[in-house]
């Protein structure tokens, strides 16, 4: 049996199945990227809930794995060379899992880099901008009388949705017929923007029929539905 005792995080979140990949997460868009990817790949894993309400992310055990105190993070008992691999940053984890399983990331160099391009579009654009808009719609920023900051992020979110809408025209997924880590990264954030942040009116959601179409297809995937449920029901 794999011994993970050298990793302090397992003292706070004991591994019941140490031979499986350990996921530390929450049901945020970034967290869902990884649980969805794991479900899509069919890798055996064990999920642990990192409770922000009790500041789990600032505990020494969690910081020993991710010094940036963010979820998601993983500990793969069967990493490269058969050695355990701790890893954080959702984009890096998606790339790692895609390469580990040979799925959802093209091996042809030009297609691979194009897919990574759209992954970075989410990491550097959609995630930060949608997240800032959420601050001004449902979190503390909603009480600000000055709506100019909110409107700035709404305008940028609309622009990003427009880029995505154009890309999806005539395509089943971001990369065409091939479902990829670009879709797995992008669409949890799109879902969150509309369902949790309730920003449909602010961003003109009706103007993006291609994004709506692909979001519906994404949400219909059984692995996506399972992955969405995982972090919320994970062991404490």
What domains can be seen in the chain, in order of their start residue? 9-103+224-233 (3.40.30.10), 109-221 (1.20.1050.10)
Under the banding of pLDDT at 50, 70 and 90, the label for residue 2 is: confident
- What percentage of the chain carries pLDDT values higher than 90? 96
Q: Give the tokens for residue 129.
A: 């901008």
11: phi then psi, degrees, rounded to nearest 5: -75, -35
Which pLDDT score is estimated for 230?
A: 83
Run of H or E residues at 25: strand 21-25
Q: Is the entire prediction scored with pTM above 0.75?
A: yes
The least confident of 63-72, 73-82, 101-110, 223-232 is 223-232
Helical H runs in the chain?
9-12, 29-41, 60-65, 90-101, 109-121, 127-137, 148-168, 181-195, 200-203, 209-219, 222-233
Which pLDDT score is estimated for 3?
A: 85
| pLDDT tens digits for range 188-228 | 999 999 999 999 999 999 999 999 999 999 999 999 999 99
Cβ 195 vs Cβ 201: under 8 Å: no
Under the banding of pLDDT at 50, 70 and 90, the label for residue 234 is: low
Mean pLDDT calculated for residue range 174-188: 98
CB atoms within 10 A of CB 2: 13
Helix crossing, 148-168 with 127-137: angle to 10°?
A: 140
Tell which phi-psi region holds residue 171, choosing left (phi > 0), alpha (psi between -120 and 50) or beta: beta
Mean pLDDT calculated for residue range 61-85: 96
Which residues is 85 bridged to in the sheet? Answer: 76
| pLDDT tens digits for range 100-153 | 999 999 999 999 999 999 999 999 999 999 999 999 999 999 999 999 999 999
Cα(214)–Cα(188) distance, rounded to whole angstroms?
12
């Amino acid at each position: 049996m794999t011994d993970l005792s050298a990793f302090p995080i397992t003292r706070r979140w004991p591994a019941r199945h140490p031979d499986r990949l350990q996921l530390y997460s929450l049901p945020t868009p970034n967290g869902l990227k990884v649980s969805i990817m794991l479900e899509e790949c069919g890798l055996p894993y064990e999920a642990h809930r990192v409770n922000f309400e009790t500041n789990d992310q600032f505990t020494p055990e969690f910081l020993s794995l991710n010094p940036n105190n963010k979820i998601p993070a993983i500990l793969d008992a069967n990493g490269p060379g058969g050695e355990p691999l701790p890893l954080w940053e959702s984009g890096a984890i998606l790339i790692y899992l895609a390469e580990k399983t040979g799925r959802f990331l093209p091996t042809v160099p030009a297609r691979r880099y194009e897919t990574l391009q759209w992954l970075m579009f989410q990491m550097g654009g959609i995630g930060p901008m949608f997240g800032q808009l959420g601050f001004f719609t449902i979190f503390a920023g909603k009480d600000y009388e000055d709506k100019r900051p909110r409107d700035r992020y709404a305008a940028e979110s609309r622009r990003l949705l427009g880029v995505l809408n154009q890309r999806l025209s005539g395509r089943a997924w971001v990369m065409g017929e091939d479902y990829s880590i670009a879709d797995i990264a992008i669409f949890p954030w799109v879902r969150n923007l509309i369902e949790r942040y309730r920003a449909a009116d602010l961003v003109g959601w009706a103007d993006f029929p291609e994004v709506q179409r692909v979001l519906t297809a994404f949400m219909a995937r059984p692995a996506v539905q399972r992955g969405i449920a995982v972090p919320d029901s994970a062991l404490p």
